Amino acid sequence: MADRIEIGNLQVAKVLDDLVRNEIAPGTGVDPDHFWQALGDIVRDLAPRNRALLQKRDELQTQIDQWYLSGAGQRANAEERKAFLTEIGYLLPEGADFNVSTSNVDPEIAEIAGPQLVVPVDNARYALNAANARWGSL
């Protein structure tokens, strides 16, 4: 297990703190201590909501599992499945139309439709290839 240090109300892997302090933060104007404090505040504020959402996910999954194990899922058609999922709150009614706005994004990305590739963020080569493919499709 990685060595951990305590920063504010977080326990952070030492190697991650070193990365933030020595390679990510320099030149950005972001103070690493402020970053960790702000992240700790965010985690503290959102942790109860996250726990509640995870609990809801577990409850929904249990209901779905029981439905299939009871045999109802194997005999159901698409409409029956949809009705069941709506009944337990897994599917919600479609909401009103809405617009998504973009700012500070090149028009080639914000306004021109084109293929979108999903790539792992930790693989620079894949990300670069996806960006090149997107620009090349315009």
Burial 1-36 (b: 16+ CB within 10 A, else e): eeeeeebeebebeeeebeebeeeebeeeeeebeebb
Confidence band for 118, pLDDT divided at 50, 70 and 90: confident
Per-residue pLDDT at 136:
59
Give every CB contact of residue 92 below 8 A, 6+ residues apart in sequence. 86
77 pLDDT exceeds 90?
Answer: no
Query: Could you report the per-residue pLDDT of 119-133, keeping only the tens digit for each?
Result: 877 888 888 887 777
Query: Could you report the per-residue pLDDT of 14-69, keeping only the tens digit for each?
Result: 999 999 999 999 999 999 999 999 999 999 999 999 999 999 999 999 999 999 99
Per-residue pLDDT at 133:
75
3-state secondary structure of 92: coil
